[in-house]
Amino acid sequence: MARIWPTKLDRDRLRRRFVALLLDWMSWGYVAYGVMYFLNDYWWRIPLERFYTTLTLPPWGWPAAVLGTLAMAVICQVSGYSLGERALKLEIREERPLTKEELLMGRAAGKPFWKTQWGVMAVFLLALTVALGWHIVKIDPEALIHPSPRAREMLSEIFPPDFRHFRVPDPAFELRGLPYSILDLMVLTIFMALLATVLGAAVALPLSFLGARNIMGFSPAGWLVYGIVRGFFNIFRSIETMLWAVVFALWIRWGSPLAGIMALTIHTIAALGKLYSEQVEGIDPGPVEAVVAAGGNRIEVVRYAVLPQVIPSFWAFTLYRWDINVRMSTVIALVGGGGIGDMLFYYKNEGKWALLGAVVITIVAVVWAMDYLSGRLRERIT
Amino acid sequence: MLSGYPEAYLKERPRWMSLDAVADFFYFGFRNLRKYLSIVLLDMGAIGILWLLMNYVIIRLSTGRIGYALVPWWVFGLGVVEAAALWESFGRSFGHRVARVELRRTDGGEPTATQRILHWLLWHVSVLPIFPLLFIPSPHERVSGLELRPFTMEGRTPKPWWRTSTGIYVAWLTGVALLAAISVTVSWEDLVRLFTKAGTTAKFWRSFFSPDTSIILKTIRDLIVTVFMAMTATSFAVLVAVPLSFLAARNLMRGVVGRLIYTVIRGMMSIIRSIEPVVWAIFFLVWVRVDLTPFAGVLALFVHSVSDLTKLYAERLESIDPGLIEAIAATGANRLQILRYAVIPQIVNPYISFTLYRWDINIRMATVVGVVGGGGIGQALFFYLTGNLWRQAGTVMLFIIALVWAIDYLSARLRAKLA
């Protein structure tokens, strides 16, 4: 009987075929972008706008580019084993022996990848990316080898670093009328990270159970809560700590440590919540069933079957997060988050390189120690 | 079986004036010393931190200033040592807990009060490093008849944490640390603003629903610069980090020279990694010409990526299966062939996965590096923020969030495929 409606297998194959074509189209589109960029860069050089002049096309250029790249993608797909097919592991279209031409195209095994069609394309795209990056970023090895006069001045001043304000506050630098030394601000920064981690972990812990499929996935309401919590984690995690700090600096006050703490906390909740709930989803279901069989409710399941299994990895993640938070809190002052970064950017703006060196060395020592300590502790826990 | 004797007594001893005897003396002496020293240092550190934090809180709450000690440093040092001695003699201290030992009689019984007092008094003598080196066991254990034995839970009922000295200590430390942290970072005015001034961010959120369309094209171009900054930094970092990772893998670097190279590279990478990309960006922004801001950002990302990738790669190399190497070596393959057929097949996928992960991080970092002036979209954001152009800043932020989310999703999907 002739099938009218495609089976699930056919539909899946069709979908893969379509995605493969889309990938090929996109890679050729990328090539077209590169070509246009270089054309603009070299031939239609407009001095004032040069930096941003990347996509200047005549009116007929757009449809030409779109159709041309599509044509190239189709040619790739028809003529051999294209990049999109390789990415989706669409091995061979029809079940039939390969012809001699196809073997020569490199669809058979044993050929080095850079001689196959997809390999050529991949190497070409990589080269194009490096070349484009080189021009867009304006990489200049000469500038690296010959430092600017300011750099020479900096290098001559930064050694030896000046630790005179490590313990004694610098009268030139004060925050809200209070003098601070390097040590004071370093301790304050570590406290900021500590508070953010504790607060974040305290909120993420209960939320993580609400965001775990094997705890919530028993009722429609449970699924709803699961979806909301997971969505919250995903959205808030992709907003950087620095961006949160911008918001809270506007909200509370520029340079307030509380703004930094709130920014770190929000991101910590989302990041830790995701890690925690993935751990909860990976537990052994045996104890859960045992507690349910003994008549335990959801809270008792969490208390007696889930928590004992996940506590060590929870500690490991929390330590890891504290390490990250210490790193972040040292520079969060850049966007108004408070902490030792205030001093860092103050000395940088004033050009006091020797004092800046002392601040940087202190930060490095603390961050390094935290990294080492948390690594050792995590090894011990897990 | 002679029980209760240290192992140094149980083995046949060399003649007293031979070289072996000297070697034995240092070997067992330092082992003994290390055992005591680690516990004592842990206890002193634990007590010292608690003391400093309590002083910090007291000074902060009573005077509103920042201070660390209410007493001269030598009083602090003596007090810490004394408290450690008391804790180790009359209870199961933090150091004991970490080392998983406890103080018992040599026959395994519960120490008596007299023995504990003797232990405490003579502890003051034995704290000098020379004594644990010369005497095994150290005088305070010899005279009091006590020793540190491995801790077991056999035949005991577990105590709740608030009945153990370490539990009380940790609870107290946590409380004091939180109090100290809150007292110095949070002020009433800030708290009040946090709960009442949420409306000030409205101009920000509003821009998410009505972005400034006139800057969209420029923002996309900045976005492209940022993406290429991350791509360039990652690809160059891979080129440097792959060879370095072979030099930084402990199992491949054997011998004195190899171990030296391993230590130097690992140490350097660990230090470089501790410096944030933002700080590197500050350095490179001064280093290169003023007009090359994205290049400075790329250099900062590059340096940090190299150190991070080297560590990740080397750790993966250290955990490869040695059986395959032996199998290939048994066929008479040379070093290059071993590398090609035994090592590389095991590491290709993890390496690609780490690279993707780092690329993901680099895109986030590129936005942050831009904020100090490292080019790309971060610089645009900082420009709008300093100009109080909230609507434009919100628009830029919308693009950053979309980019980070997309890259995060893409890299996670690709990594799941590779695993």
Instruction: Indicate the domain borders of chain B.
Output: 7-173, 205-418
Q: How far is B59 from chain A (nearest CA, A)?
A: 13
- Closest chain A CA to residue B234: A130
Q: How would residue B198 be classed by pLDDT, with cut points 50, 70 and 90?
A: confident
Contact residues on chain B for A180, CB-CB shorter than 8 A: 66
Both A264 and A132 in a single domain? Answer: no
- Is A63 part of a structural domain of the chain? yes
- Closest chain A CA to residue B290: A148
Q: How far is B225 from chain A (nearest CA, A)?
A: 6
In this predicted structure, what is the pLDDT of residue B78? 93
Mean pLDDT for the stretch of residues A77-103: 67
Both A247 and A358 in a single domain? Answer: yes
Cis omega before residue A179 (within 30°)?
Answer: no
Q: Do residues A341 and A326 lie in contact, with contact meaning Cβ atoms separated by under 8 Å?
A: no
End position of a domain, from candidates A139, A163, A187: A139
Mean pLDDT for the stretch of residues A157-168: 86
Strands B101-105 and A178-179: what pairing? unpaired
Q: Say what the ipTM of the complex is.
A: 0.86
Contact residues on chain B for A144, CB-CB shorter than 8 A: 287-288, 299
End position of a domain, from candidates A119, A139, A159: A139
Q: Which of B194, B266, B379 to mutate to test the interface with A (most CBs of A within 10 A)?
A: B194
Q: What Rg value do the Cα atoms of chain B yield, rounded? A: 30
Instruction: Give the nearest partner residue to B271 out of A235, A256, A368, using CB atoms.
Output: A368
Q: Whole-angstrom Cα distance, residue B223 to residue B294?
A: 12
Domain with residue A245: its CATH number is 1.10.3720.10
Both A221 and A343 in a single domain? Answer: yes
Q: Is pLDDT larger for residue B32 or for residue A109? A: B32
Q: Whole-angstrom Cα distance, residue A314 to residue B283?
A: 37
Q: How far is A339 from chain B (nearest CA, A)?
A: 9
- Closest chain B CA to residue A89: B417
What rounded mean pLDDT belongs to chain B? 87
- Closest chain B CA to residue A130: B232
Residues 6+ apart with CB under 8 A from B88: B39, B40, B43, B95, B96, B103, B123
Instruction: Give the nearest partner residue to A334 out of B187, B273, B278, using CB atoms.
Output: B278
User: How far from chain centre, in Å, is Cα A94?
Assistant: 40
Q: Is pLDDT larger for residue B376 or for residue A195? A: A195
Q: Which residue has the tokens 């020569």?
A: A104
Question: How many residue pairs bridge chain A and chain B with CB atoms within 8 Å of each other?
Answer: 174
- Domain count across chain A: 2
- Closest chain B CA to residue A199: B178
Q: Which fold would CATH assign to domain B205-418?
A: MetI-like fold (1.10.3720)
User: How far from chain centre, in Å, is Cα B383?
Assistant: 35
Q: Which domain does A103 fall in, by range?
A: 8-139
In this predicted structure, what is the pLDDT of residue A151? 85
- Is A132 part of a structural domain of the chain? yes
Q: Whole-angstrom Cα distance, residue B232 to residue A370?
A: 30
Mark yes or no for CB contact B292/A187 under 8 Å: no
End position of a domain, from candidates A92, A114, A139: A139
| pLDDT above 90: residue B48 | yes
| pLDDT above 50: residue A48 | no
Both A107 and A21 in a single domain? Answer: yes
- Is A167 part of a structural domain of the chain? no
| pLDDT above 80: residue A344 | yes
Contact residues on chain B for A189, CB-CB shorter than 8 A: none
Both A203 and A276 in a single domain? Answer: yes
Mark yes or no for CB contact B274/A262 under 8 Å: no
Q: How far is B312 from chain A (nearest CA, A)?
A: 13
Mean pLDDT for the stretch of residues B264-280: 91
| pLDDT above 60: residue A263 | yes
How confident is the model over B220-231, as pLDDT tens digits?
888 999 999 999
Mark yes or no for CB contact A262/B194 under 8 Å: yes
| pLDDT above 60: residue A55 | no
Q: Is pLDDT larger for residue A298 or for residue A182? A: A182
- Closest chain A CA to residue B228: A133
Both A225 and A326 in a single domain? Answer: yes
Both A135 and A204 in a single domain? Answer: no
Q: How far is B198 from chain A (nearest CA, A)?
A: 6
Contact residues on chain A for B181, CB-CB shorter than 8 A: 191-192, 194-195
| pLDDT above 70: residue A87 | yes
Both A375 and A287 in a single domain? Answer: yes
Q: How would residue A110 be classed by pLDDT, with cut points 50, 70 and 90?
A: low
Q: How would residue A52 be classed by pLDDT, with cut points 50, 70 and 90?
A: very low
User: How far from chain centre, in Å, is Cα B272?
Assistant: 14
| pLDDT above 70: residue A234 | yes
Q: How would residue A51 be classed by pLDDT, with cut points 50, 70 and 90?
A: very low
